[in-house]
Amino acid sequence: MAATTTDRDTKRKVGDSGDGPVKAATKIPAMVLVMEDASGYITNGADTASCVFMGISREQKDNTSGAAGDLDIEFWRTGIFTFACTGMAQANVGDAVYLVDNQTVGLKATTTNDVCCGRIVKFISATEVEVDIADRYTIEP
């Protein structure tokens, strides 16, 4: 397509949220880690190969009886969220974290597929940390 020489009606969205089609036979709770699977559908966060972390679900969507894409789900792409964690200490503040499941993050050494979901910004306890999910864009794969 050639460059335009006239005004263009470019669509704009606020970049802190997104949406996508839910995987078939899947129920996604509100406020959990979600990812896009290899087929392009949104599903619960997990340590699964060929998936990309997308954000935090804004709502619950129950597509357990539906086909892939029957429902769409909204999710946050940015923000700081509190999640369960495994094997963390105060010294891990600033470290990248990776999906374990839809509510748990772990360090690279504790996950198999290394689906990055952000960076620790606050250590709360050995079982809970605050994660800046926007920082996943600055972490090298």
Beta-strand (E) ranges in 15-101? 17-21, 26-28, 33-36, 42-44, 52-57, 61-63, 72-76, 80-85, 96-99
User: Can you give the pTM of this predicted structure?
Assistant: 0.90
Question: How many Å apart are CA 89 and CA 112, to the nearest integer?
Answer: 20
H-helix or E-strand containing 26? strand 26-28
Nearest in space to 102 (alpha carbons), one of 139, 140, 48: 48
Instruction: pLDDT tens for the chain, 141 residues: list them.
Output: 899 999 999 988 778 999 999 999 999 999 999 999 999 999 999 999 999 999 999 999 999 999 999 999 999 999 999 999 988 999 999 999 999 999 999 999 899 999 999 999 999 999 999 999 997 777 765
Residue with tokens 């999710």: 75
